[in-house]
Amino acid sequence: MRFIAPALVLLVAAFLLPLLYVVYLSFGGSSPSLEKYAAIATEPLYRQVLLNSVYISVVSTGLTLLLGYPIAYHLEAQPPRRRTVLMILVLMPFWTSILVKSFAFTVILGKSGIINSFLQWATGMEGHLPMLFNRFGVVVGMTHFLLPFMVFTVLASLLTQGPELRRAANVMGATRLTIFWRIIFPLSLPGVMAGILICMIMSMAMFITPALLGGRGDLMISNLVEFHVRDTLDWEMASALAVCLLAITGVFCIGIARVRGGQLFGEEG
Amino acid sequence: MAEMVRLDGITKAYGETVALHPTDLSIREGEFVTLLGPSGSGKTTLLNLIAGSTAPSAGEIWLKGRDVTQVPANRRELGMVFQNYALFPHMTVAQNVAFPLTLRRRPRAEIRREVMRALELVHLPHVAKRKPRELSGGQQQRIAIARSLVYNPSLILMDEPLGALDRKLREALQFEIKKLHEELRMTVLYVTHDQEEALTMSNRICLMNEGRMEQVAPPQEMYFRPATEFAAGFLGVSNIIRVAVEGRGAIRVGERFALSGVPGLTAAPGEVVPVMIRPEAIRLAAGSAAENVLEAEVEDVVFLGGVTNLVVRTGQGERFTVRQLTRRSDAGWQGGMPVSLSFDASDVVPLNGAAPQ
Amino acid sequence: MARQTTIEERVPSAATRLIAWLGYAFLLMPSLVVLPMSFGTGTEFDFPPKSFSLDLYREYFSEPSWVASTLTSLQVAAASAALSLLIGGLAAYGIVRYQFRGKKLLTIFLLSPMLVPTIVVALALYLYLGIARATGTTWGLILCHAVVCVPYVIVTMMAGLRQVDRNLEIAATIMGASWFGVLTRVTIPLLRPTILASGLFAFLISFDEVVISFFVSGVRTQTLPVKMYSTIHWEISPVLAAVSSLLTILSLGICILVAALQKER
C-alpha cells in the first residue's frame, strides 16, 4: 500500500479531481442545470458532429481491421527472428509522433502533393484529386494511426493459439482454408473484438487528425471541445461534451472487459 | 544432542481452509529430517512457516532455543535450497556463493577462502567465474547447495531440491547431499514427495497427509511398523486387510488360517481391525494341502525382473500382492493356479494407532 | 504431383502476403517521405527533392523559437519520465508483490488514464490548472505529462516484475538480506532492462505528447509538438520536414534501444 501511495496521490490530485470538476461544470457548476446536455441532444450541430465521429470511427476501424488482420497473420507465420525484424515496421509508426504522420500526409495527399503530382505527370491532365482537408484525409490518417494497435491486439491472440490445434486439424485432413475459417479465425475473435473496441475508443476521441487533415465538415467531438474552450469560452459546454465522450468510452471499456473475461487491461490480476 | 528446531502447536489456516493443523516437531542438531507426503499435504506450508515466508496462525517456532515466531525471515539464520535453484542470474557463481557472506560484512580475504572451500565441497571450484545459466541443472543445484552452507546456518531447508533433475543425476546428488550432511554435521529439513528419496536420505521421516503429521519415525520403522493405513499405503507396496481379533494378540484371517502372538495388537476380542502385511513377507506354495494356510487362486503374474509380483485372491474375495524373488525354476506361476498363503504373526502390523508408537 | 504442405510451414497465401506488405508500406510511408524531403532545399515541397542540402536543418537550428520549444520538450520529458518512473515503479512493485483489499479496483484506477480520452484529460487539466493558477508553468506541464506516463510505466514494470522469480527474493531474504537489501541487490539489478525501457517509453510519450500540452502550455512553455501543431495548422513550412525527420530518428533510436534491452533480458 505504501508503495502505491505516491502514484495514488498524483492521480487523485491531478486526474480524478480534475475529471470530477469537469463533470461538475458540465451540470452547470454552481447553478445546476441540464441545459448543456439538452442542447447537445437537440441542436443539429451536435448531432452532426456525433454522426461525423461515428462515421469516421467506424470506417477507419473497419479499414484498420481489413489491413491489420493480414499483417498480424503474416507476422505470426514468420519465424521468431524475422518476426522481430518485421515488428519494427509496425513499432516504428507506433512510436512516431502523430504530428510527423499528419505532416507527412499533408505532403502526400495535398493539392500539389506527391500523389497528385504523380497523377498529373502520368496522365498529363490538369486538376487534382481532393484528398486532403476532407473526410478521405481524416480516414487515411486515422487508419494509419490505429493500425499498430490492431496489429498488436490481433497478433497477441494469434500467438496464444499455439500450433497444436492446427496440427491436429491438419492430421484430421482439414485444408488450409478450413483450418483458417474453422479454427484460427474463430479463436482469434476475442482479440479482434478487443482490437475493434480499442480502435473505436481512440478514434471517437481523436483530436489531431481531424484538426489537421479534415475540413470544416469533418469536425469530431474532440474538436468541438477545443472550439468551445478556445473560441466561445463556453467551458460548461466543453465539459458536457467531454462527459459524453467519457460515457462513450466507458461503454466501450465494458465491452473490452467482457471480451477479456473481466479484465480491462489484462494486468490487474 | 541439542535441540535445533522445536515446533509447538504450529498452525496455518487461510480463512476457513486449514493448510496445517496444530503440529509439534522437534529436530536435533545434526539430524536429517524429511517431510514426506503427497502434494497438498502441508509439507511446503510447514517449510515456509519455518523459513519465515509465511506467518503461522497459531503456535510457536523455536530455533536453537530462541523463539523466532515473530522474527523476520532474514534474521533467522537459515539456509535454503529451492527446486528451481534460485541462483541470481546477474551474478557469477562465486558472487552467488559469496552473497550471504557479503551480507554479513565478512573481510574480503575470508570471503574468497570460504567461497572456494564451499565450491570444493561440491566439486565445482572451476566454474567460479561463470554465470549460473552456463551450467547444467545438476551443477546449478550443487552451487545452490554450496551457497546454502557457506555461512554455516543453523538449519538448512531443502524444498524438493532434486525434483527438476532426471533420475540418474538425482541419485548422484542424493548421495552427495547425504555425504555433505555426514561430513559437516549440518541439520537439514528436507521436503520431498519421493518415498525412495526419503527412505535413503533421512534420519527420520515425518509423513504428512491432509495438513497433519501422520507419523514421525526413522525410515526402517516407518517402513516396517507404519502406524496408519495412509502410512502403510504411501510407503512401498502393502496389503491391508481387515481381520477379526480372537484374543490377546490372536487374529483370524480366514477359515483355516489363524495367528497368535501378533505384536502390538491392543484391540479387544470381537473387534475387526485393519492390519498390514508387506508383499515380501508372504509365503506362497502351490496347491492347498498344508495346515493353517489361506487358500487362494493366482489372478495375475507380473514379472519385474529380479522379483515377480503375484496377485492372488482368497476364497473370501480378499486380494493380496505377493512378492517373490524370481527364480528360473519356479517360472511356472500361472493365472488360475490354486495356491496357499501364509505369513508369520511378527509380520502382521496392526494399523490406525492399534500399535503403541 | 500434389505438393504436401504441412501446417508447420505456415506460408500465408499470396493474397495475404500482398495485403500484409501493402500494409507495411502504408505504415512506413510517412517516414519514407519525410526523410528525403528534409534534405531538400528552400521553400518548395519537392518529392523527391531536386537537389540535396542541409538547409532545412540549418534553418531549424538557427530559428530561436524551434530551439526553445525543443529545449522545453526535452526538459519536460526528462523530468516527467524521471517522476513517473519513480512513482510508477513503486506502484508496480506494490501491486505485484503485495496483497491487499481493493487491489484490482486500485490497479484499474492507476491504469485508467490510458483509456480516458486525451482531450478529456486535457480539458480537465486546463480548467484545473486555471484554478490553481499554474497554466503555462513548466512544473504544471511536468505533472500533467506524468499523469499520462505513469500508467505506461506501471504496466511495463508490472510485466517485468512478474518475470522476476519470487524465489530469488525469498532466497536472498533467508540468507539474511533486509527488505532494502533484496530490492537493491536482487530486484533492481534484475529489472534493469525493464527500468530503462519504461523510462525511455515515458520519455518518448511525454516528448511526443501534444493534446494536453496544447491546452496547458503557455507562450513561454510551448513544447515542440505544440509548435509543430500550430505550424502545420497555419503555414506548413518545409522546416517541418527536418523536425519530423529528427523526431522519427529519435523514435527509431529508442525502439532499437528497447529491442536491444529486451534481448539482454
Cβ contact, residue pair C93, A3, below 8 Å: yes
Cβ contact, residue pair C174, B52, below 8 Å: yes
Cβ contact, residue pair B73, C173, below 8 Å: yes
Helices (H), chain C: 14-38, 55-62, 64-97, 103-111, 118-131, 138-163, 166-174, 179-182, 188-208, 211-216, 224-234, 239-264
Task: Give percent above pLDDT 90 in chain A.
Answer: 65
- Give the separation between CA B161 and CA B192, rounded to whole angstroms: 8
Q: What is the pLDDT of residue C10?
A: 62
Establish if A25 belongs to a structural domain.
no
Nearest CA in chain C to A84: C259
What residue spans define the domains of chain B? 3-231, 237-282+292-350
Least trusted range by pLDDT, from A138-147, A247-256, C131-140: C131-140
CATH at A204:
1.10.3720.10
pLDDT in tens, C72-115: 999 999 999 999 999 999 999 999 988 888 899 999 999 999 98
Q: What is the pLDDT of residue C135?
A: 85
User: Average of pLDDT values for A111-124?
Assistant: 85
pLDDT at A266 over 80: no
Size of interface A-C (CB pairs under 8 A): 275
Say whether C147 sits in a helix, a strand or coil. helix
Establish if A20 belongs to a structural domain.
no
pTM: 0.85
Cβ contact, residue pair B86, C181, below 8 Å: no
* Domains in chain C, CATH or no CATH each: 68-239 (1.10.3720.10)
Say whether B232 sits in a helix, a strand or coil. helix
Which residues on A lie below 8 Å from C232 (Cβ)?
Answer: 99, 102-103, 106, 212
Which residues on A lie below 8 Å from C241 (Cβ)?
Answer: 103, 107
Establish if A8 belongs to a structural domain.
no
ipTM at complex level: 0.92
CA A77 to chain centre: 26
- Give the separation between CA B339 and CA A69, rounded to whole angstroms: 72
Q: Which CATH class is domain B237-282+292-350?
A: mainly beta
Q: What is the pLDDT of residue B260?
A: 87
- Contact by Cβ (8 Å): B8, B23: no
pLDDT at C45 over 80: no
Task: Please count the structural domains in chain A.
Answer: 1
Q: What is the pLDDT of residue C44?
A: 60
Cβ contact, residue pair B100, C175, below 8 Å: yes
Establish if A23 belongs to a structural domain.
no
Q: What is the pLDDT of residue A161?
A: 86
CATH classification of B3-231, choosing from 3.60.15.10, 3.40.50.300, 3.90.79.10, 3.40.50.1860?
3.40.50.300
**pLDDT band, very low/low/confident/very high, at B353 (cuts 50, 70, 90):** low
Residues 152-181 of chain B whose Cβ lies under 8 A from any Cβ of chain C: 157
Cβ contact, residue pair C117, A246, below 8 Å: yes
Residue B331: which residues within 8 A CB-CB, separation 6 or more? none
For B183-221, the DSSP string reads HHT--EEEEES-HHHHHHH-SEEEEEETTEEEEEE-HHH
Establish if A7 belongs to a structural domain.
no
Q: Is C264 on the interface with B (CB under 8 A)?
A: no
Q: What is the pLDDT of residue C4?
A: 47
Q: Which domain holds residue A214?
A: 34-260
**C-alpha cell at position A192:** 479482434
**C-alpha cell at position C247:** 523526431
